[in-house]
């Protein structure tokens, strides 16, 4: 694949000849930096990885997760990967990593029987997965910025090759 870099610092805005792309863990920084990298290397792939919500986030958490998906895809990420799938009510297990992260689901082991709680990340990824089909390509769409409606648009692969009414 390629190398891992936190959102691009100027010294990481390059590729080695053998790399097909790179993944950027979301530990901070401005996701728009991916567009700078894409403009220099349009033939290379970019993936936004190691993203997570957690106890540090406040306000409308569903909107925060949706914003990550929209901004990453608007800035050339081919995929957005969130950690972790399932965590308990104490944000575990972890092996020394993030002890304040949120999973897609929380397994509340303090109740009998244990209870599964679906998080905002689950719903944001689920919504995007329902409407963005495998092979779909991001296409141009208006960018109204954070003061307006945030959008990202996709076109199904082969959409114009299908008969009218076929989905």
Which pLDDT value is given to residue 164? 52
- Residues in the chain, overall count: 167
| This prediction's pTM | 0.77
State residue 166's pLDDT score: 45
Ordered structural domains, the chain, with CATH: 2-161 (3.20.20.80)
CA 41 to chain centre: 21
d(CA 85, CA 138): 26
Q: How high is the pLDDT of residue 167?
A: 47
Intervals of the chain under pLDDT 70? 1-14, 16, 18, 22-28, 145-146, 148, 158-167
Tell me what pLDDT residue 5 has.
Answer: 55
Predicted pLDDT of residue 87:
94
| Predicted local distance difference test score (pLDDT) of residue 1 | 53
């Amino acid at each position: 694949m390629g190398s891992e870099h936190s959102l691009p610092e100027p010294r990481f805005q390059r590729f080695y000849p053998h790399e097909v792309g790179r993944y950027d863990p979301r530990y901070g920084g401005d996701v728009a930096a991916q567009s700078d990298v894409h403009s220099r290397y349009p033939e290379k792939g970019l993936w936004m990885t190691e993203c997570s919500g957690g106890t540090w986030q406040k306000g409308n958490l569903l909107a925060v997760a949706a914003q990550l998906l929209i901004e990453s895809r608007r800035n050339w990420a081919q995929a957005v990967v969130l950690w972790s799938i399932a965590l308990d009510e104490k944000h575990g297990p972890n092996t020394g990593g993030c002890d304040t992260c949120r999973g897609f689901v929380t397994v509340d082991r303090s109740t009998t029987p244990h209870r599964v709680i679906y998080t905002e990340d689950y719903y944001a990824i689920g919504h995007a997965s329902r409407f963005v089909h495998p092979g779909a390509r991001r296409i141009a769409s208006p960018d109204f910025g954070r003061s307006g409606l945030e959008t990202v648009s996709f076109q199904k692969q082969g959409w114009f090759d299908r008969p009218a009414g076929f989905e």
